[in-house]
Structure 1
Amino acid sequence: MPPKRKQEKAEETPAKESKKVKTDEFSSDAKTSDGKKWNLKIVSWNVDGLRAWIKKDGMSIFEKEEPDVVCLQETKCSDDKLPEEIKNMKGYKSYFMSAKKDGYSGVALISKKEPLLVTYGLDDETHDDEGRCITAEYEDFYLVTAYVPNAGRKLVTLDKRMDWDPKFRKYLKELDAKKPVIMCGDLNVAHKEIDLAKPKGNKKNAGFTPEERAGFTDLLAEGFVDSFRHLYPDKTAQYTFWTYMANCRAKNVGW
């Protein structure tokens, strides 16, 4: 029998404290259209390995920024290997969806406020076995964190990505029909040429193929908003990923 999509009510857990170290600055002076200060802080981070991230003091973000929700992608950690300090955080509820394959994919959602309901996956065995999506329902909105399939080197898994996009879009639309949706995560796509440093040389590479870009366009066509481009439509050289090669981060040659 294929695994059923899991749902669970949130449970409160004890916690250990993390070390305080310097992290990036996430403060904001943003206000709503009627002049009210923001009151919800969500951090989304592809950690490329949860245990390594913890060893590098990644958890200090909780002390420095006091986020309401932290969404992590590519945790690469099976349930039985989850570190206690992230499972049992003081003042937070933690939820994890790992892949069946150890050391691969995986997502986490860590929330100050206990969600009404936490749902794991898309009710799709192939993608759910890879631990790609957690949904938290709150009173006024849904929060979805996802690790979208990568098309891979030489596009060897582009078919998997093309299977994911319409299914995920349909899932988000169904949620949006009930409540507003905030979706965050590693989307593995640069939508427009402004979104990466070297667009001309990457049109046949994973993350910038016409098919992947069209998938993002289709999502926006359903009424969803690219929040960064909504706020900063013309801002350049703003990236979230840099390859390890050729000193790209220092040169800000990114995506």
Structure 2
Amino acid sequence: MKLVSWNVNGLRACVNKGFVDYVKETDADIICVQETKLQEGQIALELGEDYKQYWNYAVKKGYSGTAVFTKLEPLSVRYGMEEDEEPEGRIITLEFEDFYLVTVYTPNAKRDLSRLDYRLEWEDRFRSYLGQLDAKKPVIACGDLNVAHHEIDLKNAKGNHNNSGFTLEERGKMTELLEAGFIDTFRHLYPDRTDVYSWWSNMPGVRARNVGWRIDYFIASARLSPNIVAADIDCQILGSDHCPVRLEVTF
């Protein structure tokens, strides 16, 4: 089974930069996107009849939002972690026979860290939510988690200590998540691989020099580790300030 996750940073713009071509070439079973920045009815996305589409829109226009395109028929679909919650459209959960799939766009702490307290509280609720799902069947969670976990996961670790996305608090929450029975699938396969990132700032020349961060993940229940066939990052794919990340898993 092939899965893709991509923060498209505006799906309409990404479609104009080759999104549909990438979907066709990759031919994944499930495609998850974050930061769609859409409201209902603002796009007619033609991916073919094979893909069923599920959308979670933010209340705020042009902000956040997630979607899942799947060839597999889900048993159930849930939006947000709790009923009548997640006005920012950050989470979609699909239940399948053998696992839960969760796509997530984790809140950013903001450059001045003004949203750090909210971010940390949100992380605790998200970890609890994944734990509840994991108690029923294995979980695959993917998306923009807005954190580089270790120094190996960004180019300039020294210069970014305590910056948004690399604070000790945010990194600690990722550690807590993994210690709760989950694995970072990419690091599971490539514990020492360097200079592989999924996001680059829009400053001139940054992406060309590969001064990036790895903040997009496939997280899986630890008991799925024998099922993981491949985990890759398509660094060469343009269209967003993020690139797609991929996972191949067997059931």
Question: What TM-score range do you get, normalising by the shorter chain?
Answer: 0.7 to 0.9
Supply the distance in 2 between the matched residues of 1:130 and 1:144 (Cα, whole angstroms): 16
- Quote the offset at 1:159 in angstroms: 1.7
**How does 1:225-244 map onto structure 2 within 5 Å?**
225-244=183-202
- Quote the offset at 1:188 in angstroms: 0.3
Moved more, 245-254 or 178-187: 245-254
- Quote the offset at 1:155 in angstroms: 1.0
- Quote the offset at 1:56 in angstroms: 1.2
Query: How many equivalent residue pairs?
Result: 213
Equivalent residue for 1:180?
A: 138
Matched, 1:103 2:103: no
- Higher RCO (CA-CA < 8 Å; seq separation 6+): 2
The SS at the match of 2:55 is strand
The SS at the match of 2:112 is helix
Equivalent residue for 2:24?
A: 63
- Quote the offset at 1:124 in angstroms: 6.4
What do residues 170-217 of structure 1 show as CA deviations (whole Å, max 9, x unaligned)? 000000000000000000000000100011111121100001000000
Supply the distance in 1 between the matched residues of 2:48 and 2:114 (Cα, whole angstroms): 38
| TM superposition score normalised by structure 2 | 0.82
Supply the distance in 1 between the matched residues of 2:98 and 2:118 (Cα, whole angstroms): 33
Supply the distance in 2 between the matched residues of 1:237 and 1:98 (Cα, whole angstroms): 33
Query: Unaligned regions of 5+ residues in structure 2, if any?
Result: 214-251
What do residues 65-87 of structure 1 show as CA deviations (whole Å, max 9, x unaligned)? 11000000000001131x1124x
Please identify which structure carries the higher helix content: 1
Moved more, 217-226 or 58-67: 58-67
Matched, 1:114 2:69: no
| TM superposition score normalised by structure 1 | 0.81
Please identify which structure carries the higher strand content: 2
Equivalent residue for 2:38?
A: 77
Supply the distance in 2 between the matched residues of 1:157 and 1:78 (Cα, whole angstroms): 24
Equivalent residue for 2:10?
A: 49
Letter in 2 for 1:216: M
Equivalent residue for 2:49?
A: 90
Supply the distance in 2 between the matched residues of 1:235 and 1:212 (Cα, whole angstroms): 22
- Quote the offset at 1:62 in angstroms: 2.2
Identity %: 54
Supply the distance in 2 between the matched residues of 1:152 and 1:74 (Cα, whole angstroms): 15
Moved more, 177-186 or 54-63: 54-63
Letter in 2 for 1:119: R
Moved over 6 A (4+): none
Letter in 2 for 1:54: V
